[in-house]
Amino acid sequence: MKRQFTQLCIALAILLGISTTSKAQYTMYLDSINNICTVGTTVDISMRTKNFNTIGILSYQGTVRWDNAVLHLDTVIYSGKTIALNENSVLMDTANAQFGFLWSDPSVTQLGQKAVDASPLATLRFKVLKVLTAGSTPVEFDTTVNADISTSIAIYDAVQGALTASNTAHIGGIVGFVTTPTVSKTGTLLTAKPSGTPSSYQWNLNGNAISGATSISYDYGNVAGSYSVTVNYSNGCTATSAPLLPLAVTSFNGFYKSGASQLTWATVNSNAVYFNVQRSVNGKDFVTLKQVSYSGNSYSFSDVTSAAGKVSYRLQIVDKDGSISYSNVVSLTLSSATSFAIFPNPVRNILSLQVQNSKSESVTVQVVDLLGKVLRQEQAQLTAGLNNVSLNVTTLAKGNYVVVVRGEGVQQQQFIKY
């Protein structure tokens, strides 16, 4: 077959009849087609040249290859004529997914003419057999030795025979497939990452289109739910991303009981790495009390250091990608009939408490660190009126601590151990 092809090539060059030298500087390339989404789609990929200057009438030979499992070559439009496929043809070997071409520039009819840039030399018409879920499949030139069709991509003229130029470029094309878009998240901002060239976007919440959410990005604003984006393409293709649950906390609640703020929350998203339980006494400035690692769907936390008055809580949610979001805010009102003073402060050994109580009751006196961990605890019996309680803090490390008196109500004060 190779011998036949070479003979045909030389014969055509001789028949063209004009002999001269060639400026062998050119680029031969194949088209790239994107956004294919359906099996059975017809795809035309043209072979073209640019910067192809000719003094005489020239011809090319070479080989184009493709993936036979993805594309089937139906026809070739060659110099304006459709070539019927025949695996015994000199030019075709579709069984092995290769097309050997012999081309003479039909636009050059006399000396000194120049081939038109980007004009198709041949068009390969493929049918899509399989839609790839990611990426693309190449349709490319083969410049290696091929026993069936050709030895290389070459340029011919009637006098000099085959010429190859070191500054010649042969650039393949691709058939690109629409793939499932992905979604990235920064804080509460979701951004679509589509394949190909989209024409429009539609964001969805729990499978339903969100009115007006038609940009590449969407700020979900800490509204829990399942989010996705549908990407539409100009050729009619549509692709929808996998559901994303960007808000880890579906419920966050709190109540006051037995002198402590009891907080509970539930989650649905494994993207969370940990939760910071945060508290504020003015509703604006929050401090972290405890970091809770992600470990399931249900959580609880008890804040034993809450002082009387209105206290606000929230969760700071940290995801695997480092992005941060927040839960709703829970506000509780903590009441107490107990008040006390401490001295000395700073203290070295014995911390004295003067506790004013409205009735007789048994209370729990605790020493906790600033993260709420209980380091020391003992019971004290109070009577109505002024009560004196002593705590031995000699063994505590130097630092800041909180003493908590917990009975029907709760009171706390901070002290320094030196």
pLDDT in tens, 248-307: 677 889 987 756 788 999 887 667 889 999 999 888 889 999 999 988 888 999 886 666
Q: What percent of the chain has pLDDT over 70?
A: 70
d(CA 213, CA 349): 63
The answer to whether the beta carbons of residues 367 and 401 sit under 8 Å apart is yes
Q: What is the pLDDT of residues 340-399, one digit of tens each?
A: 888 899 999 999 998 877 678 888 999 998 888 899 999 999 887 788 899 999 999 999
Bridging pattern class, strands 287-293 and 249-257: unpaired
Domain hosting residue 318, numbered range:
249-334
Q: What is the pLDDT of residues 147-184, one digit of tens each?
A: 443 434 444 444 444 444 445 678 889 999 888 888 88
> What does the DSSP assignment read for 356-415?
EESS-EEEEEEEE-TT--EEEEEEEEE-SEEEEEEEE-TTSPSEEEEEEEESSSEEEEEE
Same domain (yes/no): 20, 104: yes
Same domain (yes/no): 164, 207: no
End-of-domain residue from the set 177, 200, 228: 177
Q: How far lies 228's CA from each of 203, 233, 247, 305, in Å?
A: 6, 17, 13, 42
Same domain (yes/no): 167, 30: yes
End-of-domain residue from the set 128, 153, 177: 177
Same domain (yes/no): 30, 102: yes
Same domain (yes/no): 58, 126: yes
Same domain (yes/no): 343, 330: no
The answer to whether the beta carbons of residues 407 and 338 sit under 8 Å apart is yes
Same domain (yes/no): 26, 86: yes
Same domain (yes/no): 298, 386: no
End-of-domain residue from the set 285, 318, 334: 334
Helix (H) or strand (E) holding 2: helix 2-16
b/e burial code for range 167-206 (CB count within 10 A of at least 16 → b): ebebebbbbbbbbebebebeebebebebbbebeebbbbbe
Per the confidence metrics, is the pTM higher than 0.75?
no
Same domain (yes/no): 36, 108: yes
Which CATH number characterizes residue 283's domain?
A: 2.60.40.10
Same domain (yes/no): 292, 403: no
Same domain (yes/no): 232, 319: no
Same domain (yes/no): 146, 68: yes
Count the domains in the chain. 4
Which CATH number characterizes residue 89's domain?
A: 2.60.40.680
